[in-house]
Structure 1
């Protein structure tokens, strides 16, 4: 067992893990942060996206020991300090960017990273960026619309698919 220490959602966190423990498992099982979903365990679906040192990563492909000393942010940290929804979360709600909700944490974490790097992405750029996130319910159109709306762009002209 190896002791890992990191800052998770602004708070110190630590625990003893086996070398093979995935970051997603550590977050869910050791820290009870179950918003990080595990959908595939093969880095295909993106449901487990978190931010490590400001970068979006799939937590099912990163070992917890690799995050030792890192700053990790999960979906649980995304709300405003008063508990209200952030612009991205509100846009997902307003534009029906979710149905079952299983992929939503990963989508929102990916959207947050995209908008940090590219504050006004085109529709094509959003679709390209989300290539590593799978949604089985929405068909992506409303997710793309929500992300573009969160960036402050007018999405009224986006054609329905």
Structure 2
């Protein structure tokens, strides 16, 4: 699937900001399956500001690749702000980047519950000094939820960079 045009435009904006500030980004993605990393690396010259991406789709991958504690997943579930925070912080710890984003959610069409419905996505962003988390419930089919999650994650990086300048 070609990268959504909004995701692509946001990736360009994020890349320009990272390049201008001489920072590198890493990603930890679950339900988006590397969509953000793909959008970043679709841009020529992205090796100057995109360090690496972790696709940690399974709980075991979250634990093994980026150090999310298994008991944290057991207590809160993979789709939670606690796990999104641990994913963002773990991706940063396991890379040379200064900024990270994490995405974990229920893209559907199955897998939703009453407390964690299809479309629920938890995000984490960190720059080593400050970590932000947020949960959003998106509407649409599997692809639309994943695209909206990628867009939201990239907008969150821009907000984190804005806050970093203050």
Normalising by structure 1, we get a TM-score of 0.29
Larger CA Rg, structure 1 vs 2: 1
Normalising by structure 2, we get a TM-score of 0.28
* Structure (1/2) with the larger helix percentage: 2
